[in-house]
């Protein structure tokens, strides 16, 4: 649990904010020097997401998506804008959102809102989103804040909407990274937090073809 590794909550958040302020507003910056895996990541995410967007009585809509921890908009540009009519972005680093406006190009006109805010303080507009995508950012929230944020995400979904988490998973327990002030949880801890938020897991998948030296990455869909 994060309570065992996060000694000072205020410091945990402020140190992370400071870390990201110094990161270059590039795809390589967003991916910690692993910019070359971006296409593998996006293609897998697209396949995962499209199974919920296909025809059927419980089909997830394609009107509006929310990109959480959006950075410069890598996922917004390559995954969400091609599939959804409009997208909102939320990130704690103002410079990244400023950069996004040029990085997204013409299609960026369909980004309705750029919210500059930490997810621990952010509330998605109720009943508004078909998909809330949360990638490589849950490690910057304590367990309680993550659970509370997921509850607010649940309220932000439209009928048949889904919340998706894609993130690094530790082999066991919770591991602190002092460099960017984040934690990495194991699968069991993440599943418990999802349940605690009142969400039901619909699908879970391990990312393939990533470099061996990085954490295993898993994608979860829930509602």
> What pLDDT score does 1 carry?
79
By residue range, what is the domain housing residue 156?
A: 7-220
**Has residue 124 been placed in a domain?**
yes
As a whole number, mean pLDDT of residues 180-204 equals 98
Output the domain CATH number for residue 35: 3.40.50.150
Contact status, residue 97 vs residue 129, Cβ threshold 8 Å? no
pTM given for the model: 0.97
Tell me the average pLDDT across 178-206: 97
Query: Residue 96 half-sphere exposure, CB side, CA atoms within 13 Å?
Result: 29
Show binding-site residues.
69, 74, 91-93, 119-120, 135
Whether 176 is covered by a domain: the verdict is: yes
Alpha helices in 32-142 (DSSP H): 38-53, 74-75, 94-103
HSE-up (13 A, CA, CB side) for residue 208: 5
Feature table: binding site for S-adenosyl-L-methionine = 69, 74, 91-93, 119-120, 135
How many angstroms separate the CA atoms of 98 and 71, rounded?
10
CA angle 99, 102, 108 (to 5 degrees): 110
Is 11 within the bounds of a domain? yes
- The residue written with tokens 């190009």 in the block is 105
In a domain, 18, yes or no: yes
Domain for residue 1, yes or no?
no
Q: 156: which 2 tokens?
A: 């932000």
What is the spatial distance between Cα 73 and Cα 24, in angstroms, rounded to a whole number? 13
pLDDT for 56 equals 81
Distance of CA 190 to CAs 147, 185, 199, Å?
Answer: 10, 6, 12
> Is residue 48 in a domain?
yes
64-68 and 86-91 as β-strands: parallel, antiparallel, unpaired?
parallel
Q: Are 46 and 52 in contact (CB under 8 A)?
A: no
pLDDT at 137: 98
Q: Per the structure block, which two tokens stand in for 215?
A: 């954490």
Tens digit of each residue's pLDDT (9 = 90 or more) over 64-96 = 999 999 999 999 999 999 999 999 999 999 999
State the alpha helices, DSSP H only, in 112-166.
143-156
Please answer whether residues 2 and 190 qualify as being in contact, where contact means their C-beta atoms are separated by less than 8 angstroms.
no
Residue 156 lies in a domain: yes
For 1-10, 129-138, 191-200, 203-212, which range has the lowest pLDDT when averaged over its residues?
1-10
Q: Within a domain: residue 79?
A: yes
* Burial zone of 143 (CB within 10 Å; 0-12 exposed, 13-18 middle, 19+ buried): buried
| Number of domains making up the chain | 1
Query: What is each CA distance from 65 to 8, 100, 197, 219, in whole angstroms?
Result: 33, 16, 20, 17
> pLDDT averaged over the chain?
97
- Cα 172 from Cα 95, distance rounded (Å): 35
């Amino acid at each position: 649990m994060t309570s065992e590794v996060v000694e000072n909550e205020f410091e945990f958040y402020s140190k992370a904010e400071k870390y990201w302020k110094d990161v270059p507003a590039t795809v390589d910056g967003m991916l910690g020097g692993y910019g070359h895996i971006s296409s593998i990541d996006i293609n897998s995410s697209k396949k995962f997401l499209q199974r919920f967007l296909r025809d059927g009585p419980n089909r997830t809509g394609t009107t509006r998506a929310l990109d959480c921890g959006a950075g410069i908009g890598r996922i917004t540009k390559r995954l969400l804008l091609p599939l959804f009519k409009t997208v909102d972005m939320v990130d704690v680093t103002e410079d990244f959102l400023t950069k996004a406006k040029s990085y997204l190009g013409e299609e960026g006109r369909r980004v309705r809102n750029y919210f500059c805010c930490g997810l621990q303080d952010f509330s998605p507009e109720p009943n508004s989103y078909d998909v809330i995508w949360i990638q490589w950012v849950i490690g910057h929230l304590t367990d309680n804040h993550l659970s509370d944020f997921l509850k607010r995400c649940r309220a932000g979904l439209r009928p048949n909407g889904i919340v998706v988490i894609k993130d690094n998973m530790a082999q066991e327990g919770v591991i602190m990274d002092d460099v960017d002030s984040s934690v990495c949880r194991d699968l069991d801890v993440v599943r418990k937090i999802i349940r605690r938020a009142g969400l039901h897991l619909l699908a879970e998948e391990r990312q393939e073809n990533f470099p061996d030296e990085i954490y295993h990455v898993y994608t979860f869909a829930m509602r």
